[in-house]
Amino acid sequence: MVPGVTLDPEVEKWEVNGVVVSELLLKYREESIKKGEKQVLDIYQEELSLNGIFLFDDLNCVYPDCSLVYGFDRDTWQAVMNECKELYPAQSLSKKTKKIINKFAEAGAENFDKCDKIVEKLNNKDQIRESLRNIRKRLELLIREGLLALLQDVPEDDRPTVYADNVDWREIIVASNTVDPKRILDYMYFTPSKGARSPSQAFTKEFRQAHEAMDSNLKWKLSTGTVVEDVLFDYGLNCNYEDVAHSFIIDMTCKELMEKFTEKGIEEIGERSKHPLPDIPEKLMECVNGYVGLTTIECLETRVRKRLYAFGTDF
């Protein structure tokens, strides 16, 4: 049980640009607590907030900043960052630390086994040490998951060992001659269903309860006799990842799900409650087209930070 926090009305609140920062952050924490009780925390900012930790990062940082996560507009977030910089000026990294980080990056592209040895050269009190360790573990996990999935069709005797500790994943992939290394990245970042997290026991229990609570007389029964909600339930129970089917939503682009219906049934589903897409506003199309041809992270980051559309208003 995570304890709640109530601000003392007599204590001065942290206010920036007319926004009470402390209240907004605590509101975010309350929402995270509710999600945590349901075991559906999505991002690390939610996990940190449970312990009263909030991440303040600059608008120009390498990764997308946390302004939208916590519900701040850009101007207010910049003002908050300016106050933080005045109160807690950042210290420059030592030449030794910078050198170690560069070596870590080089080793990560060749042999993860070397990464651990490089990290050990940092001082035990150096927070960067633990950060680099976590990066190493996360990368190894992603590569392992991607490789395992891609090797499903390879005969078991021909598969490389992927559960051994301190392995050089690049050597394994190349030596096996079974998988193109680039396909691993494609798999990890462009196959959302397989890359999604596995449903927890609480999630599955809630899914069962939602199905049991349904009135059988109100379920959608196709002319073929198939009950759509029951098909979605059976499909969802066998999914080893969270899917829209768990919300009883039909994804007609999902081949595995559509195979559970007859051609006539699929046609009937497609004809039910059609919602034609509205025309895309010219300004929104201009914004989307602005990403065409961008091939580097730097270009994408620069483009994302350009405010060319009022996303807070109706399209």
Q: Tens digits of per-residue pLDDT, 23-63?
A: 889 888 998 888 888 877 777 888 888 888 888 887 666 55
Q: 250, 258 in Cβ contact below 8 A? A: no
Strand partners, 15: 20
Q: Tens digits of per-residue pLDDT, 143-201?
A: 565 555 555 555 555 554 444 444 444 444 444 444 454 444 444 443 444 445 567 77
Q: Tens digits of per-residue pLDDT, 264-287?
A: 999 999 888 777 778 888 878 887
Closest CA to 312 of 72, 77, 80, 76: 72
Q: 1, 34 in Cβ contact below 8 A? A: no
What lies within 8 Å, CB to CB, of 122 at 6+ separation is 97, 100, 128, 129, 132
Calpha distance 223→218 (Å, rounded): 15
| Domain range summary for the chain, segments of one domain joined by + | 15-87, 95-195, 201-271, 279-315
What pTM value is reported for the model? 0.37
